[in-house]
Amino acid sequence: MTGTTSGQDRPELARAHALALEWLASLDDRAVPPAATVEQVTEALGTDLPEGPTDPVEVVEHLARACEPGLVATPSGRFYGFVIGGTHPAALAADWLVSAWDQNAGLRALTPAHSAVEDVAEAWVLDLLGLPPESAVGFVTGGTMANFTCLAAARDEVLRRAGWDVAGRGLVGSPGVRVVAGEERHDTVDLALRYLGLGAPETVAADGQGRLDPAALRDALAQHDGGPLVVVLQAGNVHSGAFDPFSEAIEVAHAHGAWVHVDGAFGLFAAASPTYRHLVDGVTGADSWATDAHKTLNVPYDCGLAVVRERAALRAAMGMHGDYLILDEAGEPFDKVPEISRRGRAFTVWAVLRALGRSGVADLVDRMAGHAAAFARGIEAIDGAEVLNDVVFTQVCAAFGSDERTRDVVRGMLADGTAWMTGSRWHGRAVLRVSVSNWSTTETDVERSLAALRAVAGR
């Protein structure tokens, strides 16, 4: 060590630190929606490429000043839009180090530190989620790329079993791969399949909560010709929070030789809670699982986890064995993800797991689901409001009479600013969706948000 870095010799870091603390301190009181539009932020930034250098302190000041009004308080305990997730303090602190350390996570020799942390975090994630301990975990950018990574391994493996080597021969002329998914799968499953050259999946009916109907799956596969087959299931429907019936569906799919993939972007973490674990009963029997660390686990963007039981299948799909790379017998971290160079995402996952421990993660999940249940009770008590889903986990879908009135409530909530809830459509109706995904949400946040909702809906 050669001396310490103080605010005096790295003033831009001291300034960024102060600005970050100001932002975090503003979260409790600021309006959750942004105060400025894209155009307003662009104007505040200025669009002329500078002809010469600017002092880093000035750059940081200018960036923060121009952007602050255009920031959404997604880390606020009152942000319930989409499925976003906040940032646990330990993960945020670790993420600052990740940027300062600037490690390239692709190769063991290039960063023994990240490789060690990734190995430990991999084992912890598998343990917490109750997944087979021999599985490989790829630390990718999010749920979309986790689905992509797992489905790439699936595609290559089912074709390999049919005697076709995708890596060598590509897809042109290959046997067809049949992909079957529930009708309420997440759109990113289709996106991943598109990236993989597999086209749109064949869909199987779902029930009133959006759960794939195992009898419909049985019917769909009854005449299956034994060719390459992938079945995609879901842990956590974005509208209802519902979980597919894993035991039954996996048994049917495996009877036909399918690779079963589970999209569990936010819902797979139910497995970490003794109270909610029953929702994922049987999920361990699948072949791959996609989840997000930046949703339920509350690490900062971006981090998804691609989990594949058969390590060799993932390595065959994602590995790149150029001579110039130092290859280790344990395999290289880049073998498990689409990228070669990448950010040290495992550092933040390790940090939040170290900070929370097994009981802390269970408590995190329990509190989110508990707040969702409180929202459901509060909404039901509003005149003319109706909760449309069985609130089994973290998602609440509500309507306020006609579609027009529901859309008015969505707009009214955004104008009010106390909380952010997303407008969506589910089963042909306009809905207001509440997703509780942030570690910092308190009972007070839920009460404040419900008070705002009561006021808006009462107008």
Ligand X SMILES: *Cc1c(COP(=O)(O)O)cnc(C)c1O
3-state SS, 33-56, equals CCCCCHHHHHHHHCCCCCCCCCCH
Kindly tell me which residue out of 76, 87, 144, 296 binds ligand X, with binding defined by CB under 6 A. Answer: 144
| Euclidean distance between the first and the last CA atom of the chain, given in angstroms as a whole number | 63
Tokens of 340: 């070669």
| Cα 445 from Cα 76, distance rounded (Å) | 9
Q: Which stretch binds ligand X (CB under 6 A): 137-145, 269-277, 369-377, 402-410?
A: 137-145
The answer to whether 263 contacts ligand X (rule: CB under 6 A) is yes
Is residue 266 close enough to count as binding ligand X by CB under 6 A?
Answer: yes
Q: Which of 111, 188, 288, 389 binds ligand X (CB under 6 A)?
A: 188
- Closest residue to ligand X, judged by C-beta, is 143
**Among 259-267, 278-286, 395-403, 409-417, the segment contacting ligand X (CB under 6 A):** 259-267
Q: Does 201 bind ligand X (CB under 6 A)?
A: no
> Which C-beta is closer to ligand X: that of 68 or that of 292?
292
Give yes or no for a contact between 106 and 342, defined as CB atoms under 8 angstroms apart.
Answer: yes
Query: CB-wise, 122 or 263, nearer to ligand X?
Result: 263
94 and 350 Cβ atoms separated by less than 8 Å = yes
Q: Select the residue interacting with ligand X from 142, 241, 338, 412 (CB under 6 A).
A: 142
Q: Which amino acid is at 297?
A: L
| CB closer to ligand X, 82 vs 224 | 82
Strands (DSSP E) contained in 338-408 are 386-387, 395-399
User: Which span sits near ligand X by CB under 6 A: 33-41, 70-78, 94-102, 142-150?
Assistant: 142-150
**Single residue of 118, 122, 157, 292 touching ligand X by CB under 6 A:** 292
Gap between the Cα atoms of 201 and 187, Å rounded:
11
Q: How many CB atoms lie within 10 A of CB 45?
A: 14
Compute the least distance from the CB of residue 375 to ligand X, in Å: 18
Q: Is the CB of 188 or the CB of 288 nearer to ligand X?
A: 188
- How many residues belong to the site for ligand X (CB under 6 A)? 13
Q: Does 422 participate in binding ligand X (rule CB under 6 A)?
A: no
Q: What single string gives the DSSP state of each residue in 321-349?
A: --TTS---TT--GGGGSS-SS---THHHH
Cα(35)–Cα(43) distance, rounded to whole angstroms? 14
Q: How far is the CB of 48 from ligand X (least distance, A)?
A: 34
Closer CB to ligand X, residue 240 or residue 441? 240
Alpha-carbon span 442 to 452, nearest angstrom: 16
Q: Determine the Cα–Cα distance for residues 291 and 155; give it in Å rounded to an integer.
A: 19
Nearer to ligand X, 307 or 456 (CB): 307
Binding mask 62-101 for ligand X (x = CB under 6 A): ---------------------x------------------
Question: Any contact of residue 210 with ligand X (CB under 6 A)?
Answer: no
Q: In the bound complex, what is the minimum distance in angstroms from residue 182's beta carbon to ligand X?
A: 11
Pairing of strands 202-204, 178-182: parallel
Instruction: Kindly state the smallest distance separating residue 322's Cβ from ligand X, in Å.
Output: 28
Residue 8: both structure tokens together:
């005096």
CB 402 within 8 A of CB 392: no
Of residues 269 and 439, the one with the C-beta less far from ligand X: 269
Nearer to ligand X, 16 or 140 (CB): 140
Closest to 314 in 3D by CA, of 130, 109, 140: 140
For 53, phi then psi, to 5°, come to: -70, 155
Q: What phi and psi, each to the nearest 5 degrees, are found at residue 120?
A: -70, -45
In terms of CB distance, is 303 or 385 closer to ligand X? Answer: 303
Residue with Cβ nearer ligand X (145 or 217): 145
How far apart CA 143 and CA 289 sit, in angstroms, is 10
φ and ψ at residue 156, rounded to 5 degrees: -65, -40
143 near ligand X, rule: CB under 6 A? yes
* Choice between 203 and 442, CB closer to ligand X: 203
Q: Tell which positions 293-322 bind ligand X, by CB under 6 A.
A: 304
Question: In sequence order, which ranges of 170-269 are alpha helices (DSSP H)?
Answer: 187-195, 214-222, 246-255
Task: Rank residues 154 and 238 by Cβ distance to ligand X and give the closer one.
Answer: 238
Rounded to a whole number of angstroms, the minimum distance from the CB of residue 448 to ligand X is 25
H or E segment to which residue 157 belongs: helix 143-161
Q: Provide the mask over 213-242, with x wherever binding to ligand X is found by CB under 6 A and - wherever it is not.
A: -----------------------x-x----
**186 part of the interface to ligand X, by CB under 6 A:** yes
Q: Is 190 in the site for ligand X (CB under 6 A)?
A: no
Closest CA to 283 of 313, 256, 253: 253
Concatenated DSSP letters of 419-440? -EEEEEEETTEEEEEEE---TT
Binding interface with ligand X (CB under 6 A): 83, 142-144, 186, 188, 236, 238, 263, 265-266, 292, 304
